[in-house]
Structure 1
Amino acid sequence: MGNFRAFVVTLLALDAVVFVVGSVVAPPDPFTQLLLVGPALLLAPAIAWWLVYRDGFARLQGVVDPDEE
């Protein structure tokens, strides 16, 4: 998978996680949900960029990989 395609897939996955967690954590008031989910959606492209282009997935794999000792 190319870097741009991986970036888009990662960004969409992060956006989905933000919406699910935001809807569970935030009260049902739309304004409050926007205040909580909005900044997270603005931060998601930076996190996706770090994961794809700065080898964040490789660093995370080293942290959570059970085969490494």
Structure 2
Amino acid sequence: MGSSPLIQFAVTVAAAAVVSVPLAALLTPPDPYTQLLAVGLLLAVTLPVAYYLSYGGGYASLGAWVER
């Protein structure tokens, strides 16, 4: 991604939010409270993963793995 870690983190979290809302709608009952809980849990898991990818060298590792 070649940009600053802050921008990488923000893009990763935004992409996870875009994916988690429809995923929660598909996998949970049509109850708004349950869907909000599922989205919250998905984002709670996503934040540490996004932090590792952005600040812990995860994107660099993925880039090296893809270039093999």
TM-score (norm 1): 0.75
Which 4+ residue blocks in structure 1 deviate beyond 2 angstroms? 57-61
* Selected match of 1:20 from 19, 22, 29: 22
Answer yes or no: is 1:58 the counterpart of 2:52: no
Give RMSD over aligned pairs.
1.6
Say how many residue pairs are matched. 65
Identity, in percent, stands at 34
1:7 aligned residue:
9
Unpaired segments ≥5 residues, structure 1: none
- 3-state SS, counterpart of residue 28 of structure 1: coil
Distance 1:60 1:23 in 2: 30
